[in-house]
Amino acid sequence: MGVMTPSAPWRMFRRMQASLLAGASLLYLGAAIHAWRVLPGAGSLKLQRTILWPAALAALSFAAFRLVPALRRGLSRHLWISYRTGFGQSVVSVLAGLGVLVVAAGFIYWQTHAAAHGGRYPAGAFGGYGAGIGLLLAQALIVRDLERDPAFRDGIEGR
């Protein structure tokens, strides 16, 4: 059993997982900075709602998908099916994935705008996005795990 050489489609799929994680993180950072500037309330409230709770939910989401066998298997299966159907291997599918992230970030901006003008504090939007980042981190790592699994080797190498 020699060194594995992933196929070009697999490398593109793996890069997409990392790109989605990076994109989601940057969009979240922008939304949190914006919220910090415009939301009413003390710094401690802003810290709790835009950083601490979302970070806790990201960690919980990540841990659940990495440590709960049924969730891990389900996500691994989802990733493998996504790869086998071509998702994440074309410009259109990459843009579609990033588009979903932009829409979710837009929801946070909308919620932040509403809260800055007397609406409800957008803790749920920030928390949900944080949990999503935890899931994306788990996906990026599970893709790497699949590369080490002999059951997927032929498919990853394009044989």
Question: In this structure, is residue 133 part of a structural domain?
Answer: yes
Question: In this structure, is residue 120 part of a structural domain?
Answer: yes
- Cβ atoms of 146 and 79 closer than 8 Å: yes
Predicted local distance difference test score (pLDDT) of residue 97: 84
Nearest Cα neighbor of 101 from 82, 80, 128 is 128
- Our CA angle for 149, 64, 74, nearest 5°, is 50
Question: In this structure, is residue 2 part of a structural domain?
Answer: no
Query: What's the pLDDT tens digit per position in 79-128?
Result: 999 999 988 778 888 888 889 988 998 999 999 999 899 888 888 889 99
Question: In this structure, is residue 159 part of a structural domain?
Answer: no
Name the domain count of the chain. Answer: 1
Domain span including residue 106: 8-152
What is the gyration radius of the CA atoms in the chain, in angstroms?
Answer: 18
Query: What's the pLDDT tens digit per position in 47-63?
Result: 999 999 999 999 999 99
Nearest Cα neighbor of 54 from 127, 138, 123 is 127
Question: In this structure, is residue 157 part of a structural domain?
Answer: no
Question: In this structure, is residue 14 part of a structural domain?
Answer: yes
Predicted local distance difference test score (pLDDT) of residue 2: 63
* Residue 150 DSSP label: G
Question: In this structure, is residue 57 part of a structural domain?
Answer: yes
Q: Is the pTM of this model over 0.85?
A: yes
Q: How far apart are CA 155 and CA 65, in angstroms?
A: 23
- Tokens 């699994």 appear where? 149
